[in-house]
Amino acid sequence: MPILSYKCEKCGNCFEELVKKYDERVPCPRCGTPAVRTWYGCMYSATGKPPKKCNGKCSECPGCK
């Protein structure tokens, strides 16, 4: 289960949430509005090697492949 980063567009609250699926809808813990997934923080490679040019969006990123 991944820990993903989210930001609420209504109140601006940034938080992390443990989710079962990447596309799971997550409400803001402050106001309850559905939050939007963000791409900030550290990125790690599944191989244990530092990723190269990783932008956090695995479908677009050539860094870990």
Q: What confidence tens digit (pLDDT) does each residue in 1-11 have?
A: 788 889 999 99
State the CB neighbour count (10 A cutoff) for residue 47: 8
**Residue 46 clears pLDDT 70, i.e. is over it:** no
Q: Which residues contact 50 (CB under 8 A, 6 or more apart)?
A: none
Average pLDDT of the residues in 35-41: 80
Q: What pLDDT score does 59 carry?
A: 67
Q: Can you name the residues that pair with 18 across neighbouring β-strands? A: 3
Per-residue model confidence as pLDDT tens digits over 9-19: 999 999 999 98
Distance separating alpha carbons of residues 48 and 18, to the nearest angstrom: 22
Q: What pLDDT score does 51 carry?
A: 53
The one-character DSSP state at 54 is: -
